[in-house]
Amino acid sequence: MTRILWACAAAAIAASSGAIWAQQKSSADGIAEYRAMLADGNPAELFEAKGEALWKTRRGPKNSSLEACDLGKGPGVVKGAFVELPRYFADTGRVQDLESRLLSCSETLQGISAAETAATPFGRGEQSNMEALVAYISAASNGMRFNLPQRNPEERKMFELGKRAFFYRAGSHDFACASCHGEAGKRIRLQDLPELTKNPGDGVGFAAWPAYRVSSGELWSMQRRLNDCYRQQRFPYPGYASDVTIALGVYMGVNAKGAASVAPSIKR
C-alpha cells in the first residue's frame, strides 16, 4: 500500500495548478458549510425517541420489555454501554456487538427469534426496530470515550481476526476494507475516508456510527454500514451480526480507544 503508485504520479500531482488546489479547497469549505447547516436538527433524534419507547415497551411472545437486558454494564444499564462494545458476554460465550447483543436479549427476554430478525432486510420489521434501538442506546453514550475491554482472550482473538479481515483482499476488484480506510487523508469523490487502522480522532470513523444517512433518509447501524461497505467492496453478503462483522467492530473499536462518540451522527 505504501509503495508509490505510478512512477510519474508525483510529477502529475506537482503539475496540478494552483487554481485547481484553490478549487479543491473551496469545495472542501463548501461541504463543511453544508454539514454544519445539517448538524442542527439531526433526524436521528426521531429514531432515538422511538428507540427509547421500544426499550421500555412490553413486546414479543413473552410480552416483556428490554429493560432487563445486560449490554455489558449490568442489566438495564444503557448509559456508557455503547462505548464498550463489542465485548465478551459470559451468558452467550461470545463476543457481541450492540446488535448481536440486542438479538440475544430480544430472544431471551421477549421471545423474538434472533434468526428471524437477522434474516430480515434492513429497514423492515424488527430491523427497523433495531435501528431505533441502536439510535437510543448509542445516544445515551454520546460524548463518552471508546474503551473496549480486551481482558478476555476471546476479545483479543476477535481483535486479531478483525485486523486480518480488515486487510483481506478479494473479489472482482481486489478490494479490502484497507483499500479505502488504510491511509489517512484520502477521499472517495468528495467524501473523506477515516483511517481505521488507528484512532482517527473524536467523532470520526467508528466513533461516528450509527448515523442518520441523508442519502437514504434512514438510520444506519454499524451492521448496516459494514454491510454496505462489503457490497461496495464487491464481496458476497456478510450475515447480520456474523463473526466477521463483530471482529471488525472489535478491531475498529479498540483502535478508536479514547475517541469521543458523536453517535448517532448525521452523514451524507
- Beta carbon nearer to other proteins, 80 or 244: 244
Binding flag, residue 207, other proteins (CB under 8 A): no
Q: What H or E segment, with its residue span, contains residue 223?
A: helix 222-232
Pick the closer one to other proteins by CB: 50 or 87: 50
Q: Which is nearer to other proteins, 87 or 181 (CB)?
A: 181
Shortest spacing between CB 74 and other proteins, in angstroms:
26
What is the CB-side half-sphere exposure of residue 245 using CA atoms within 13 A? 22
Catalytic option among 8, 69, 105, 229: 229
Closer CB to other proteins, residue 113 or residue 179?
Answer: 179
Among 77, 115, 234, 258, binds other proteins (CB under 8 A): 234
> Shortest CA distance to 245 belongs to which of 170, 162, 174?
162
What is the residue-wise DSSP string for 48-93?
Answer: HHHHHHHHHS-BTTTTB-STT-BSSSSBT--TTTGGG-SEEETTTT
- Cα separation, 168 vs 49, in Å, equals 38
Q: Which of 6, 74, 90, 121 binds other proteins (CB under 8 A)?
A: 6
- Closest CB to other proteins among 75 and 125? 125
Does the N-terminal peptide bond of residue 86 adopt cis geometry, omega within 30 degrees of 0?
yes
How far separated are the first and last CA of the chain, in Å rounded? 27
* Residue 79 or 156 having the CB closest to other proteins: 156
The residues, any chain, with a CB within 8 Å of residue 77's CB and separated by 6 or more, are 70, 71
CA distance 60 to 43: 27
Selection from 131, 125, 106, 110 nearest residue 223 by Cα = 131
Residues 267, 27: Cα–Cα separation, whole Å: 17
Number of CB atoms found within 10 A of residue 199's CB: 20
Convert residues 117-156 into a mask of x (bound to other proteins by CB under 8 A) and - (unbound).
Answer: ---------------------------------------x
Q: Which one of 98-106, 107-115, 238-246, 253-261 is the stretch in contact with other proteins (CB under 8 A)?
A: 238-246
Q: Which residues have C-beta within 8 Å of that of residue 255, sequence separation ≥ 6?
A: 196, 197, 198, 199, 206
| Least distance CB 132 / other proteins (angstroms) | 9
Binding to other proteins, residues 13-72 (CB under 8 A): 13, 15-16, 20, 23-24, 26-27, 29-31, 33-35, 37-38, 40-41, 43, 45-46, 49-50, 53
* 229 a catalytic residue: yes
Instruction: Tell me which residues in 101-120 interact with other proteins (CB under 8 A).
Output: none
Judged by CB under 8 A, which of 61, 91, 121, 237 binds other proteins?
A: 237
Closest separation between CB of residue 262 and other proteins, Å?
17
Hey, which residues between 159 and 198 contact other proteins (CB under 8 A)? 160-161, 163-165, 167-176, 178-180, 182-183, 185-191, 193, 197
> Which residues are known catalytic residues?
229
